[in-house]
Structure 1
Amino acid sequence: MQYTFEATGHENVLSKHKTTFEITTDSTLTLKGDCIIGLNSNVTLNDFPQKLRDKIMCDDTKIELSLETPNAKDKIIGYGSSQLTLNHPSDMVCRKSTFTCSRTLMIKADKAAIDLDEDLINDLSNCETLKVTIKVDD
């Protein structure tokens, strides 16, 4: 099962955070938001199809997240958890840790903002479109 949505980059995308990265529906970004890589998302966690939400909210469901811009692509592997609520109204956070809150999309991710492909981040800091695809096994 897979689900795709879009966000956009922003001139203040730094991608320097060492433990997380975030995609948000917000349209503004300050330099303090060094984990935020995508803004103006056209969906929230609440918009995910129920079947996908159910899978993500299971312990140890493997989640593959693909990030694609016009000049680059990156793939992140993480896991779901029964502790996830997937109900934050604007933010989606992928975490290397096992911390969960309403903003958490995946835990135990193999990459954080600082680990993402440099060309991808360059595109995002030039306000390019970000295509996000979430894949889980059926």
Structure 2
Amino acid sequence: MGLAMMVASEIVRAKGHPNITAKHKTTMEITKDYDLTVRGDCIIGVDADKAALDLSSKFKEALRLPGNLLYVVLESGGFREHLIAHCSRDIGATDPRRIIIRRSNFIEPATIGVYATKAAGDLDRRLINSLKSSDAVLTVRLYVLRLDDVEPVNA
């Protein structure tokens, strides 16, 4: 038996921007907005092709099962980052502009994962530096994993 089973997945593509700083310590955001000021220090991608509202019904249903985990892979400029967040029955994923992953348990319409292992400020600076170009493409692979069937390891 495997350790986890994927129950849903999505791919989101966004672009880089010269004002991406990714310094925020508790959140990470991808937005459909085209412009970005340096105050948006949680934003890692702009002009995204999807927001929380655009995610499939199957994916959103999987996000609402508390036993599930959200596994996130970020790729740009030949660099890759991974993080894990928890799912929650309170996730609505209805925001028409943004996707947010949080270290905390705060949930609002853009939130798709809580208690994340990383926020924007924790990401590899080489990945973030690659996103400072308007020509950069950020690929965000989102996987919801079910861990209910994991058996304990015998000592």
TM-score range, shorter chain: over 0.9
Partner of 1:135: 143
Deviation (angstroms), 1:15: 0.7
Q: Residue in 1 aligned with 2:100?
A: 93
Q: 1:99-126, CA deviations, whole angstroms, 9 ceiling, x for partnerless residues?
A: 1011111100000111001111011112
The equivalences for 1:1-138 within 5 A come to: 1-127=8-134, 128-137=136-145
C-alpha RMSD of the superposition: 1.1
Distance 1:5 1:14 in 2: 20
Contact in 2 for aligned 1:5/1:43 (Cα 8 Å): yes
Q: Which runs of 5+ in 1 are unaligned?
A: none
Q: Which moved more, 1:50-59 or 1:16-25?
A: 50-59
Identity in percent: 33
Deviations 1:33-74 (A, max 9, x none): 000010000012121111111001221311101100022000
TM-score, normalised via structure 2 length: 0.86
Instruction: Please say which structure displays the higher CA radius of gyration.
Output: 2
Structure 2 unaligned runs (5+)?
Answer: 1-7, 147-155
Structure 2: how far apart are the matches of 1:24 and 1:60? 27
Question: Is the 1:71–1:119 contact (alpha carbons within 8 Å) kept by the matching residues of 2?
Answer: no
Which stretch of the first structure deviates more once superposed, 87-96 or 57-66?
57-66
What TM-score do the two structures reach when normalised by structure 1?
0.96
Q: 1:83·1:100 contact (CA, 8 Å) conserved in 2? A: yes
Contact 1:5–1:131 (8 Å) recurs in 2: yes
8 A Cα contact 2:71 2:145, kept in partner = no
Structure 1 stretches (4+) deviating beyond 3 angstroms? none
